[in-house]
Structure 1
Amino acid sequence: MRDRGRSLVDFICPPRVIPRGDRIEAAAEPNGVTVRVEPNNLQLIGNELAIVWNDGSESYLPLELLRRACPCASCGGEPDVLGKVERPQVSYTPASYELAGWQLVGGYAVQPRWSDGHGTGIYSYQYLRRLAAAA
């Protein structure tokens, strides 16, 4: 039975570092055509992940922010059947903020691999845009 006061998204992806706001997954072109916003290029520059989006904008995400905002259940917790989220205690080391690589997931997300071995977080493009807007 679903709690009518909360959306399914709130149960599946409870807010972490960034409050949920307007959706930014699509942008309207001047001719009225809607284009899905996705990365054209991702690069590691120093201690930031640089993203060039297909709408021409650029985002620079500090690696520490990116790791601390990991959306996986191990880092952010997950809701129980009543919707209560138990946040686990996460320990970070210097290797926690070193990006070892990443892979694209489907057509909607990026999955980073960290030097400490963590790699279960899947960051949707929409979530990355919200993180960048708040950085």
Structure 2
Amino acid sequence: MNTPQNIQLIGSELAIVWDDGVESYFPAAKLRAASPSADQRGERDIFGNQYGGSGRTDFSGVRITAWEHVGNYALRFDFSDGHRTGIYSYDYLRDLSRHS
């Protein structure tokens, strides 16, 4: 697992430099839309039924206002729309950067 060595906001993008030297850039709106939280994606019961999830995909104008490390494996972001429940594992962030 790669870990962030430097995290900075550059305009409306989050920049991460990883321990292997790779740089990833995430527009705030895209990062917000990719939130892995139940609030954004919903949850499934044991029968596969989907419950909740906003289904919203357009987060134009949303900014990242803060972030914090969660243990040694993830980041949690505060967004200007009040969302702050998604926990983005380092592996998830690396995968998002590959599919940008």
Q: TM-score, normalised by structure 2?
A: 0.89
**Partner Cα distance (2:91, 2:49) in 1:** 24
For residue 83 of structure 1, report the CA deviation from its aligned partner. 2.5
**Partner Cα distance (1:41, 1:65) in 2:** 20
Change beyond 3 A, Cα 1:130–1:93? closer
Give structure 2 stretches of 5+ with no counterpart.
none
Counterpart of 1:106, as a letter, is: G
Matched, 1:76 2:51: no
Matched, 1:85 2:44: no
Coordinate RMSD, CA, aligned: 1.7
Matched, 1:43 2:8: yes
**Partner Cα distance (1:57, 1:94) in 2:** 27
**Runs of at least 4 residues off by over 6 Å:** none
Counterpart of 1:48, as a letter, is: E
Larger Rg: 1
Alignment counterpart, residue 66 of structure 1, candidates 10, 22, 31: 31
Match of 1:100 in 2: 65
Number of equivalent positions: 99
Give structure 1 stretches of 5+ with no counterpart.
1-24, 26-36
- More strand, by proportion: 2
Alignment counterpart, residue 74 of structure 2, candidates 85, 93, 109: 109
Counterpart of 2:41, as a letter, is: G
